Structure 1
């Protein structure tokens, strides 16, 4: 059997399609035409699994250009200003009016059962999750990672790296754009389950500090830069990775 491999032109065309698709989904979810506020916000959920799945595949393949196609290249118009996708939304955005729904989704993913059953548990005092949508997507996307990982431990690493690149793309955009308010430029809304799943006494241990060291050690040879992430500038990458590390450490300190 002859296998036809994609050319560079084909690959670029595919990446363009990914970016346009993400931009269109974002445009639809942000097109407010009236109705219940909670339901309007819930439409943004559609962005999350698609973006996570795309970034996860890109990280598994060490393809920086594809990471960009799902995070930074899609543009979202908000009040006449253009934002990168990861700076325009967050895991909390769809559930800001119905926070209980996020924890219920997480419980269904973790324990199975129906939404009604898990809602009843929640109402009886089962409690909330620190990062419910991260927990939910961690389980929902597990089957898609089968081609890239050997076991659950490797999958967890891949998922945490995925959220890391989403957060770093947001932090890099915020630091290099005048459309993001000053007060939130160093704070990421994408610090997911890694903030409580990794428990280290040493603040220099863990995936986020390791990423900073990778950037500092590899500089312009760090694979995301070869695909144009962080403007191809390793100093910008170091700033974004350091900001992500600081956000992760701050989340860890709040929870332990």
Structure 2
């Protein structure tokens, strides 16, 4: 027999919006708002005290006094005659004190928030509740969903039809701030004709899922169940413990599926997870970068999706790496310009989705996501072949170079220098040499290391360029970064700034490793783009204005030392000056 919980998840996933929720006081139990029975016991205790009896067992006191079990409605009517008095009395049960707020009491529960997210995703559109509290409305408001709330005949007359509303909440007993709330037995025996008509339609047109409702007190609501003769959809009835006689009769009448649960929080949390898992199973592979990036943005924005973010990025890194390894083909293949162009194009295609994912992550990501980007770099940089033509062996790291540039430029575009430091210095990458030693990404993914022996000048169309590899990367990465950096002029400035920063950081690390007071870094387009706004001049002005508050130093590059930065900068600028490219 199929687990009813699994059956329910499949039903809701395949028939979004076809089921209405019927919620009772049990849904708010973990928030510290008492159930009707608990309020009844407190009322019985108060009544006993007024009668001069300090009853330790209010149930026995009531039985002795009135000849039956405590009745919520009778007790409330006995102690608070007017509806306004009852409303004022109930405020204390629903509105948190400052101390309760600090303890997250009388605030939306995990169940309320799970329901709100299910509403947001279209699973539920209609919710019927006997509760006076506003916890569900608060949970919906937290995620930007504004429901239509019907709590009396007046609000029903002016309400948006539920077929046109994202979410309709029907509070059959009213709202605790409304003096027309229904509490007593006589009040709970009947509804206004307009409310009965609405409920009859909903029970006829929707499947019903109950949670936290005992059916014990609500005569009029039980009558709605009894009047409904149609069975368009299965009724699902959740229960925590033993069911009373009224509940059992309604379950039999509706031929309902009973789901035994430990709590409303666990039930709705599990239900949301199962529906989400079904949606994931039906999601197509992100064949386009656009779909992948959309998913990435959604996962980055909500820490609940950290696992999905991790899996999305690393699965794409593994897929891209596998394709890149296939693209490498025979590393003993003879060299030609045509074969070089073909290999570059294939690497670029194989990694196109990952390039956009990593750039988007660099732009929007949080520090807590850092390990994900590092793992992706390590996956894509894992070169397994060590025999063949040196040119092809080195070119295995071309995907790493592409992603380093894309991530670095995107990080600069969002002023995320801490991310830039993490990927360039904080991400260890195995060398593609046989010894397998690890080095900071900045030392491994440099264009001269990957494109040795003037290889860049063999890229078709770039034979006469001063920086052919930089120029090729500039052209290749323009399209995938268009969504983050739409203006061409801004893209050019960020590209040149990244290459200049990369050269400075590379030179700093290399000199520290050698300890020879000599500075060298890969020279990119900044070597010949020597205009009035050349990056060398711009950085000079920034250092003069900001001193040790420059973003590079605040991100702890160059040990946060302005003297070290200026020393490295002088070394790289001297190299550029000796090239005489301007």
Matching of residues 98-177 of structure 1 within 5 Å: 99=455, 102-105=456-459, 107=461, 127-149=463-485, 151-175=487-511, 177=512
Larger radius of gyration: 2
Matching of residues 56-75 of structure 1 within 5 Å: 56-75=409-428
User: What is the rounded CA distance, in whole Å, between the counterparts of 2:574 and 2:566 in structure 1?
Assistant: 12
Partner of 1:95: 451
User: What is the rounded CA distance, in whole Å, between the counterparts of 2:569 and 2:560 in structure 1?
Assistant: 14
Correspondence 1:18 to 2:352: no
User: What is the rounded CA distance, in whole Å, between the counterparts of 1:25 and 1:245 in structure 2?
Assistant: 32
| Structure 1 residue 162, shift from structure 2 partner | 1.1
Distance 1:98 1:206, change over 3 A: closer
Correspondence 1:247 to 2:575: yes
Correspondence 1:48 to 2:376: no
TM-score by length of 1: 0.73
Unaligned runs of 5+ in 1: 111-126
User: What is the rounded CA distance, in whole Å, between the counterparts of 2:441 and 2:465 in structure 1?
Assistant: 25
User: What is the rounded CA distance, in whole Å, between the counterparts of 1:98 and 1:193 in structure 2?
Assistant: 16
Q: Which moved more, 1:136-145 or 1:227-236?
A: 227-236
* C-alpha contact 1:41 1:97 (8 A) present in aligned 2: no
* C-alpha contact 2:519 2:571 (8 A) present in aligned 1: yes
Unaligned runs of 5+ in 2: 1-142, 145-297, 307-364
Partner of 1:122: none
Matching of residues 156-235 of structure 1 within 5 Å: 156-175=492-511, 177-178=512-513, 180=514, 182=516, 185-189=518-522, 191-199=523-531, 206-235=534-563
User: What is the rounded CA distance, in whole Å, between the counterparts of 2:419 and 2:460 in structure 1?
Assistant: 28
| Structure 1 residue 60, shift from structure 2 partner | 0.7
Distance 1:103 1:18, change over 3 A: same
Distance 1:220 1:32, change over 3 A: same
User: What is the rounded CA distance, in whole Å, between the counterparts of 2:537 and 2:504 in structure 1?
Assistant: 13
Structure 1 residues 109-160: Cα deviation after superposition (integer angstroms, max 9, x where no partner): x8xxxxxxxxxxxxxxxx4322111000111111233344453222211110
Name the SS for the 1:144 alignment partner.
coil
Structure 1 residues 55-112: Cα deviation after superposition (integer angstroms, max 9, x where no partner): 001111111111112211122355475432222342133332682xx335463xx8xx
Q: Which has the higher contact order (CA 8 A, sep 6+)?
A: 1
Distance 1:106 1:222, change over 3 A: farther
* C-alpha contact 1:160 1:194 (8 A) present in aligned 2: yes
Distance 1:198 1:64, change over 3 A: same
Structure 1 residues 3-41: Cα deviation after superposition (integer angstroms, max 9, x where no partner): 88467x982232222123223433x13x44323333212
Distance 1:80 1:147, change over 3 A: closer
User: What is the rounded CA distance, in whole Å, between the counterparts of 2:453 and 2:385 in structure 1?
Assistant: 15
When the two chains are superposed, the root-mean-square deviation of aligned CA atoms in Å is 3.0
TM-score by length of 2: 0.35
Partner of 2:442: 86
Aligned length: 223
